[in-house]
Amino acid sequence: MRRREEILRIVRDTHVHSQDELLAALRKHGFTVTQPTLSRDLRELGLVKTPNGYVSTETIAPVATFTPRATVEHRFEQLIRDSVISAETAMNLVVIKTPVAAAQPLASAIDATDIDGAAGTIGGDDTIFVAFRTIAAAETFARRVHEIAGLTPRRRTRA
């Protein structure tokens, strides 16, 4: 659509700080458009208003959110206290059991926490697999989870 192409060109080439300015620029280039139509065009084109004027969301670098490490750790530990039923090592994996629907939030908190040797998580509905690069790292993490959750590690017995 020619009008939308012109909107993109105007926004790319000049600083447009308001819809009124953009309407005037469009009229100057021979386009007659109503304010509601312009608003819809802006939305559908993915243009956003910034302090420097309208820009395409494609030209904006993604913003990484910053969460202080202490906050991430606190959330991680709180979720462990509130939702871990058991944690057991299986070679370089730690299998964590939670109540139904509690695994995903905890898996996300584990991913957000800088845990030594962790390669990644798979979170289901009530079970999380945490993969570690070594067996020792998995055992260390399982002990940490037990400690935070106040669990007693299960003793393995041989049949």
The mean predicted confidence, pLDDT, of the chain is 86
Domain limits of the chain?
A: 2-59, 69-149
Q: How far apart are CA 150 and CA 107, in angstroms?
A: 19
- Please tell me the class of the 69-149 domain: alpha beta
For 7-61, write each residue's pLDDT tens digit. 888 888 888 888 999 999 999 999 998 988 988 888 888 888 877 788 876 655 5
Residues 6+ apart with CB under 8 A from 34: none
Which CATH code is given to the segment(s) 2-59? 1.10.10.10
Question: pTM of the predicted model, to two decimals?
Answer: 0.56
